Structure 1
Amino acid sequence: MAEKKTSIGKIFVYGLMALLFVGLGGFGATNFSGNVSNIGSVGDAEIGVQEYYRALRNQIAAIEAQNGQPLTFQQAQEQGVTSQVLAQMVVNAALEDEATKIGISVGDDRLAEEIVNTQAFQGADGQFSRQAYEYALDNAGLSEREFEEGLRADSASTILQGSVLAGIKLPDTYVDTLIGFAGERRAFTWAAYGPENLTTGLPVPTEEQLTAWYEENLSQYTRPETKLITYVWLTPEMILDTVEVDEDSLRAAYAEREAEFNMPERRLVERLVYGDAATAQAALDRVSSGEVTFEDLVAERDLTLSDTDMGDVTQGDLGAAADTVFAADVGTVVGPADSDLGPALFRVNAVLPEQSTSFEDAMPDLRDALALDRARRVIEGQAQGFDDDLAAGATLEELADTSDLQLGKIGWTGNDGDGEIAAYDGFREAAAQATAEDYPTVAQLGDGGIFAMRLEEIMEPAPLPFEDVRDNVATAFENDARTKALVEQAELKATELSEGKTFEALSLTPNTEEGLTRNAFGAELAPGVLDAVFDMEPGDVRAVPGTDGAVVLRLDDILEADSEDESAEMLANLFGDQAASDVSQDLFRALSADIQQRAGVSIDQQAINAVHANFQ
Structure 2
Amino acid sequence: MAKSGKSSASRIAVWVILLLLVAGLAGFGAGGLGGNISSIGSVGETPITVAEYQRGLQQEIDFEARRRGQPVSMQTALQEGLDLRVRERLAATTALTEEARVMGLSVGDAEVLSQLQQVPAFQGPSGTFDRDTYEFALERSSLRPADFEDDLRSTAARQLLQQSVTGGLTLNDAYAETLYGFLGQRRSFRWAELSEELLAGPNATPTDAQLQTFYDENGTQFETPEIRKISYAWLTPDMLVDGITPNEDELVALYEERSGELNQPERRIVERLGFADVEAATAAKAAIDAGETSFDDLVTDRGLTLEDVDQGEVSRDDLDTPIADAVFALTEPGITDPVETSLGPALYRVNAVLEAHETPFEDVRDELVAEAAADQARRAVLDKLGEVEDLLAGGATLEELGKDTELEFGQIDYSAAATDGIAGYDNFREEAERLNEGDFPEARELSDGGIFAARLDEIVPPELPPLANIRDDVAAAWDAAETKRRLSELGETLKAQLDAGTAMEALGLSGRTETDRGRTDFIEDVSPALLITAFDLEKASETALIPTADGALIVELLDISPADMDAEEAQNFLAQLSQQGSAGLAADVFELYGQAVQARHGLTLDQVAVNAVNASIR
When normalised by structure 1's length, the TM-score is 0.60
Q: Does 1:128 find its partner at 2:129?
A: no
C-alpha separation between the residues in 2 aligned to 1:214 and 1:553?
A: 34
The AA in structure 2 aligned to 1:549 is: G
Q: 1:30 offset after TM fit, Å?
A: 0.8
C-alpha separation between the residues in 2 aligned to 1:414 and 1:615?
A: 39
Question: Contact (CA 8 Å) 1:542, 1:553: kept in 2 or not?
Answer: yes
Counterparts in 2 of 1:410 and 1:111: CA distance versus 1, 3 Å: farther
C-alpha separation between the residues in 1 aligned to 2:513 and 2:138?
A: 75
Determine which of 465, 472, 484 is the counterpart of 1:467. Answer: 465
Report the more deviating stretch, 579-588 or 188-197.
579-588
For 2:605, the equivalent position in structure 1 comes to 604
Q: 1:178 offset after TM fit, Å?
A: 1.6
Question: Contact (CA 8 Å) 1:229, 1:455: kept in 2 or not?
Answer: yes
Q: 1:185 offset after TM fit, Å?
A: 2.1
Matches within 5 A, 1:321-332: none
Q: Does 1:557 find its partner at 2:566?
A: no
For 2:453, the equivalent position in structure 1 comes to 454
Question: Contact (CA 8 Å) 1:178, 1:575: kept in 2 or not?
Answer: no
Structure 1 SS opposite 2:132? coil
Q: Deviations over 1:557-604 (max 9, x none)?
A: 22223568785566445534443332232232232233334x243233
Counterparts in 2 of 1:474 and 1:233: CA distance versus 1, 3 Å: farther
Counterparts in 2 of 1:210 and 1:389: CA distance versus 1, 3 Å: same
Counterparts in 2 of 1:74 and 1:389: CA distance versus 1, 3 Å: closer
The AA in structure 2 aligned to 1:453 is: F
Question: Contact (CA 8 Å) 1:116, 1:122: kept in 2 or not?
Answer: yes
C-alpha separation between the residues in 2 aligned to 1:481 and 1:64?
A: 51
Q: 1:482 offset after TM fit, Å?
A: 2.7
Determine which of 24, 27, 40 is the counterpart of 1:18. Answer: 27
Counterparts in 2 of 1:568 and 1:228: CA distance versus 1, 3 Å: farther
Question: Contact (CA 8 Å) 1:193, 1:551: kept in 2 or not?
Answer: yes
Matches within 5 A, 1:17-166: 17-19=26-28, 29-31=32-34, 33=36, 37=39, 39-41=41-43, 43-64=44-65, 69-113=70-114, 127-128=131-132, 132=136, 148-162=149-163
Question: Contact (CA 8 Å) 1:229, 1:411: kept in 2 or not?
Answer: no
C-alpha separation between the residues in 1 aligned to 2:192 and 2:122?
A: 72
For 2:184, the equivalent position in structure 1 comes to 183
Counterparts in 2 of 1:7 and 1:119: CA distance versus 1, 3 Å: closer
Q: Deviations over 1:444-464 (max 9, x none)?
A: 74xxxx63333435999x973
Counterparts in 2 of 1:232 and 1:570: CA distance versus 1, 3 Å: farther
Q: 1:514 offset after TM fit, Å?
A: 1.7
Structure 1 SS opposite 2:217? helix
Question: Contact (CA 8 Å) 2:211, 2:478: kept in 1 or not?
Answer: no
Counterparts in 2 of 1:120 and 1:512: CA distance versus 1, 3 Å: closer
Q: 1:92 offset after TM fit, Å?
A: 0.7
For 1:307, the equivalent position in structure 2 comes to none
The AA in structure 2 aligned to 1:452 is: I
C-alpha separation between the residues in 1 aligned to 2:583 and 2:229?
A: 42
For 1:213, the equivalent position in structure 2 comes to 218
Structure 2 SS opposite 1:186? strand
C-alpha separation between the residues in 1 aligned to 2:115 and 2:457?
A: 54
Q: Deviations over 1:228-266 (max 9, x none)?
A: 8653446499969x99xxxxxxxxxxxxxxxxxxxxxxx
C-alpha separation between the residues in 1 aligned to 2:562 and 2:378?
A: 66
Question: Contact (CA 8 Å) 1:211, 1:466: kept in 2 or not?
Answer: no
Q: 1:202 offset after TM fit, Å?
A: 7.4
Q: 1:527 offset after TM fit, Å?
A: 3.7
Q: Deviations over 1:433-454 (max 9, x none)?
A: 8988996577674xxxx63333
Q: Does 1:497 find its partner at 2:498?
A: yes
Structure 2 SS opposite 1:588? helix
Counterparts in 2 of 1:542 and 1:400: CA distance versus 1, 3 Å: same
Counterparts in 2 of 1:442 and 1:488: CA distance versus 1, 3 Å: closer
Counterparts in 2 of 1:547 and 1:155: CA distance versus 1, 3 Å: same
Structure 2 SS opposite 1:592? helix
C-alpha separation between the residues in 2 aligned to 1:535 and 1:40?
A: 54
Q: Deviations over 1:516-536 (max 9, x none)?
A: 222222444324222222222
Q: 1:85 offset after TM fit, Å?
A: 0.8
Counterparts in 2 of 1:572 and 1:463: CA distance versus 1, 3 Å: farther
Determine which of 416, 423, 428 is the counterpart of 2:426. Answer: 428
Give the paired residue count.
Answer: 464
Question: Contact (CA 8 Å) 1:440, 1:454: kept in 2 or not?
Answer: yes
The AA in structure 2 aligned to 1:467 is: P
Counterparts in 2 of 1:563 and 1:607: CA distance versus 1, 3 Å: same
Matches within 5 A, 1:78-477: 78-113=79-114, 127-128=131-132, 132=136, 148-162=149-163, 169-199=170-200, 201=204, 205-207=210-212, 209-215=214-220, 230-233=233-236, 235=238, 378-393=373-388, 418-419=419-420, 427-428=425-426, 440=443, 445=448, 451-457=450-456, 464-467=462-465, 476=477
Q: Does 1:589 find its partner at 2:591?
A: yes
Q: Does 1:533 find its partner at 2:531?
A: no
Structure 2 SS opposite 1:39? strand
C-alpha separation between the residues in 1 aligned to 2:149 and 2:458?
A: 55
Q: 1:47 offset after TM fit, Å?
A: 2.9
For 1:268, the equivalent position in structure 2 comes to none
Q: Does 1:545 find its partner at 2:540?
A: no
Question: Contact (CA 8 Å) 1:386, 1:399: kept in 2 or not?
Answer: no
C-alpha separation between the residues in 1 aligned to 2:380 and 2:240?
A: 20
C-alpha separation between the residues in 2 aligned to 1:130 and 1:502?
A: 78
Q: Deviations over 1:453-504 (max 9, x none)?
A: 33435999x9733339968776555534432331122101111221222222
Structure 2 SS opposite 1:500? coil
Structure 2 SS opposite 1:18? coil
Question: Contact (CA 8 Å) 1:120, 1:136: kept in 2 or not?
Answer: no
Q: 1:112 offset after TM fit, Å?
A: 4.0
Structure 2 SS opposite 1:392? helix
Counterparts in 2 of 1:458 and 1:201: CA distance versus 1, 3 Å: same
C-alpha separation between the residues in 1 aligned to 2:134 and 2:552?
A: 78
**Which structure 2 segments of 5+ residues have no match?**
1-12, 246-363, 392-396
C-alpha separation between the residues in 1 aligned to 2:57 and 2:511?
A: 63
C-alpha separation between the residues in 2 aligned to 1:412 and 1:5?
A: 56
Percent of aligned positions that are identical: 24
Counterparts in 2 of 1:229 and 1:86: CA distance versus 1, 3 Å: farther
Counterparts in 2 of 1:583 and 1:433: CA distance versus 1, 3 Å: farther
The AA in structure 1 aligned to 2:450 is: F
Question: Contact (CA 8 Å) 1:188, 1:512: kept in 2 or not?
Answer: yes
For 1:318, the equivalent position in structure 2 comes to none
C-alpha separation between the residues in 2 aligned to 1:370 and 1:132?
A: 46
**Which structure 1 segments of 5+ residues have no match?**
244-368
Counterparts in 2 of 1:133 and 1:68: CA distance versus 1, 3 Å: same
Counterparts in 2 of 1:225 and 1:152: CA distance versus 1, 3 Å: farther
Question: Contact (CA 8 Å) 2:231, 2:398: kept in 1 or not?
Answer: no
Counterparts in 2 of 1:421 and 1:153: CA distance versus 1, 3 Å: same
